[in-house]
Chains A and B, each alone.
Chain A
Amino acid sequence: QIQLLQSGAEVRKPGASVRVSCKASGYSFGNRAITWVRQAPGRGLEWVGWVSGYTGNTNYAQNLQARLTLTTDTSTTTAYMDLRSLTSDDTAIYYCARGGSSGAEDLDYWGQGTLVIVSS
């Protein structure tokens, strides 16, 4: 069955960086994009960006693009989200989700989420 398994919770100090991983299984990784979505405590869903599973092409939310890097490793069918220069506003649950081939389609499978806490 299709699964997206994310790495565990992280705690960082302001100014630090964090990497979250998303291990995909049960489908052809290269045929789909991985989209990242975050949710601050008590808030709604916010699109972070997406990365193509095959080409590695990316599309980032404007408010994050200066600090964000999304990558994939096709050999391990794993997607990664790197976020730098963290502030308390980055405290959120980060989800990866399977999209279509371009990142514009629906998100039909989601990871369990990774809590990132930024605190001094």
Chain B
Amino acid sequence: SYVLTQPPSVSVAAGQSASITCGGNNIGSKNVHWYQQKPGQAPVLVISYDSGRPSGIPERFTGSNSGNTATLTISRVEAGDEADYYCQVWDGSGVHHVVFGGGTKLTVL
């Protein structure tokens, strides 16, 4: 089955940029979606189809996807960005199903 690999944690100083990676075999050929989840809350879609930003998501959130790595970049990180972030793809090969990455805890210093 398809596996998505994320770093367990990323730390960044407020005002700097944070990059969260999502690795998968030829992930560049798939559509990647990113979710933000704050403690005690449901996930929120922050990036869709590699780089699309849903309504209400700040421009500071950007996404890219190529080769074996998709990346979520948060510019000018704020304290309110501290959360868990998950990448997600649709694995259409073999058994068709949704796959989530293991999640990355973003800590704002």
Contact = CB atoms under 8 A, between A and B. Distances in A.
Nearest to B102: A44
Interface string A84-120: 0000000000010100000111111011110000000
Interface of B: 31, 33, 35, 37, 42-45, 48-49, 54, 84, 86, 88, 90, 92, 95-103
B45 A107 contact: yes
A82 interface: no
B100 A111 contact: no
B42 A44 contact: no
B48 A47 contact: no
Given A59-B97, A108-B45, 7 more contacts: A44-B100, A45-B35, A45-B88, A47-B97, A95-B42, A104-B96, A108-B54
**Is chain B's interface secondary structure helix, strand, loop, or mixed overall?**
strand
B86 to A, nearest CB: 5
A5 to B, nearest CB: 12
A112 B100 contact: no
A110 B86 CA distance: 14
6 contacts: A45-B37, A45-B43, A47-B99, A104-B96, A107-B45, A110-B43
Q: Please name the 4 residue pairs, one residue from A and one from B, whose CB atoms are nearest each other, closest first.
A: A104-B90, A47-B98, A106-B48, A110-B42
